[in-house]
Amino acid sequence: MADSPLNRIDAAAGAPGTAGDVPERVRRRYLVERDGRDRVAFFADATIRTPAFRDEGRRLLAHRNDPRLVRDLVAIAKHRNWRQIEVRGETAFRRQVWLTARQTGLEVRGYRPTKRDEQDLQRRRQPKTTPELTAPPERSQAVGDSEARMRIVRAVVQAFVRPPERQAAILATAERRLRPAAERTPSPSIVEPVRHRAR
């Protein structure tokens, strides 16, 4: 994301604008420095010499064009009740401002959107969908699933395990593990003492 002091947003004629009048969430994100000429500089970090943006009341000058900064600039415009803005600067900056501002209902001059930009805006305006949470299976379905799984286990065990006592042990363990949770009863665990073999 290139830096350029040429990126700017201007309020339409007659729109109000007092330097430093920003939403609280934006103010908390930046360090603020007034320069005495009705201009306020907003810094992302105390060690950076160039501000993220300057506020001149009816004009916002941006030195970067990242999406988060653009969201903050548009939030300032909305906070000041600007209805229309004019954007100048790098194409990427102007596009990002246009997308973000149009999402919030601001009119934007200074950027001519492409067909893909229009499509992108429509997609962003659509409500976000969340995947539906599925209810846990009903008990009858869970029982049916465990019975189907048990039939598969039986077929595999009978095909590959020869000693009948070993088959019975495997099937008993599988039946305990595949039984639906609703049918399970806690069984006390038996801890056998560890026997050490003599060497």
56, 98, 52: which is closest to 74 by C-alpha?
A: 98
The model's pLDDT over 62-102, given as tens digits with 9 standing for 90+, comes to 988 889 999 999 999 999 999 999 999 999 999 999 999 99
107, 76, 83, 95: which is closest to 7 by C-alpha?
A: 95
pLDDT value of residue 1:
47
In this predicted structure, the answer to whether residue 185 has a pLDDT above a threshold of 70 is no
In this predicted structure, the answer to whether residue 177 has a pLDDT above a threshold of 90 is no
Which residue did the predictor score with more confidence, 34 or 128?
34
pLDDT bin (cut points 50, 70, 90) of residue 133 is low
Hey, where are the domains in the chain?
7-125, 139-178
pLDDT bin (cut points 50, 70, 90) of residue 194 is low
Which residue did the predictor score with more confidence, 138 or 13?
13
Q: What average pLDDT does the segment 114-118 reach? A: 95
Cβ atoms 31, 45 nearer than 8 A? yes
Of all residues in the chain, what percent carry a pLDDT higher than 90? 49
pTM reported for the whole predicted model:
0.62
The model's pLDDT over 48-70, given as tens digits with 9 standing for 90+, comes to 999 999 999 999 999 888 899 99
Rounded to whole angstroms, how far apart are CA atoms 87 and 69?
14
Rounded to whole angstroms, how far apart are CA atoms 93 and 148?
59
- Classified as helix, coil or strand, 65 is coil
Rounded to whole angstroms, how far apart are CA atoms 195 and 58?
84
Q: What's the chain's average pLDDT?
A: 84
Range of lowest pLDDT (29-33, 153-157, 184-188): 184-188
